[in-house]
Amino acid sequence: MLDFAKFTKYSKPGPRYTSYPTALEFSDAYAYDEYIKKLESQDESRPLSLYFHLPFCKNACYFCGCSVVFTSKEEKMLRYIEYLKRELEILSKHLNCKREVIQMHFGGGTPTFFSAPQLKIIIDEIKSYFPNFIPNAEISCEIDPRHIDEDQMRVMSEAGFNRVSFGIQDFNEQVQVAVHRVQPYSITKDAMDLARKYNMVSVNVDLIYGLPYQTLGTFKETLTLALTLNPDRFAVFNYAHVPWLKKTMRKIDETTLPEPDEKLAIMQYTIDFLTS
């Protein structure tokens, strides 16, 4: 049982801690030379985990706390691919890329904003520098269900991707409109079917509580619907409203955000529901 009094006492907006240190602690003070020194002093017997940030999205979801470049310009994406090639070349001079790779993750942004042929170029380029992926390495991609087609899923599957993560956040239409991310259930279901067709062994779905107009009642419905997709994993985040850091969050009407008590009730229910 959650200690509601303690949660309320420490109720303060802050960054989601999907990484440690959190994004807010990242700093320019960590200079290029230090990074190179770190790369060159690695324990070579350790396998590698690789992360690639593919930052492009067409439209802003107002709750988004990610590092995103909003664009629909093809040339920006082509330039990104060229920069990525250069980055890999530089990296290869300071790191033994022949070490085993046990994990690779594509995050964003929307990695599937890149077309199937572009994704293939990116993956082939990475593998030309890092050829030693172990069999069954965990290779995963974050996917916006509104931006995935069969060709993209096939390219990833053929390249060994075996895990995907779908952003849902909430199925309630009023909530979706308020956060500028309208994504009907059928679209998410189609994406899920595609993932299963291409043998993704683990499918995660992301939900967020604390969004505008959410109540315990609406979130119960979202959880029930999400469960019908039969995901292997749920990530349920607390929405951190930090409009002084993220401009797009200023478009959210703060009077429509649920109160801390409601959010805690949602969290408690989510834990009980998924555990049972």
Sites of contact with ligand SF4 (CB under 6 A): 57, 60-61, 64, 66, 68, 108-110, 144, 167
Q: Which sign does the torsion angle of CA 223, 228, 230, 231 carry? A: negative
Residue burial 69-100, b: 16+ Cβ < 10 Å; e: rest: eeeeeeeebeebeeebbeebeeeeeebebebe
Q: Would the CA dihedral through 188, 194, 197, 198 be positive or negative?
A: negative
CB of 144 to ligand SF4, least distance (A): 5
Cβ closest to ligand SF4, residue 59 vs residue 230: 59
**Closest approach of Cβ 226 to ligand SF4, in Å?**
16
Structure token pair of residue 155: 């390219």
CB atoms inside a 10 Å sphere around CB 183: 20
Q: Which is nearer to ligand SF4, 108 or 212 (CB)?
A: 108
CB 235, min distance to ligand SF4, A: 13
CA distance 240 to 12: 9
Handedness of CA 220, 223, 224, 225 (dihedral sign): positive
CB of 252 to ligand SF4, least distance (A): 13
Distance of CA 28 to the CA centre of its chain: 24
Closest approach of Cβ 250 to ligand SF4, in Å? 15
CA–CA distance, 148 with 161 (Å, rounded to integer):
14
Nearer to ligand SF4, 160 or 243 (CB): 243
Of 60 and 187, CB closest to ligand SF4: 60
Smallest distance from ligand SF4 to CB 113, Å: 8
Q: How far is the CB of 104 from ligand SF4 (least distance, A)?
A: 19
- CB nearer to ligand SF4: give 59 or 136: 59
Name which of 144 and 170 has its Cβ closer to ligand SF4.
144
**Distance between CA 92 and CA 104 in Å, rounded?**
16
Beta strands in the chain (DSSP E): 48-54, 56-57, 69-70, 101-108, 133-143, 163-169, 202-209, 233-238
Per the CB < 8 A criterion, the answer to whether 100 and 132 are in contact is yes
Q: What is the dihedral of CA 219, 224, 227, 229, to 10 degrees?
A: -100
Q: Which residue lies nearer to ligand SF4 by CB, 138 or 144?
A: 144
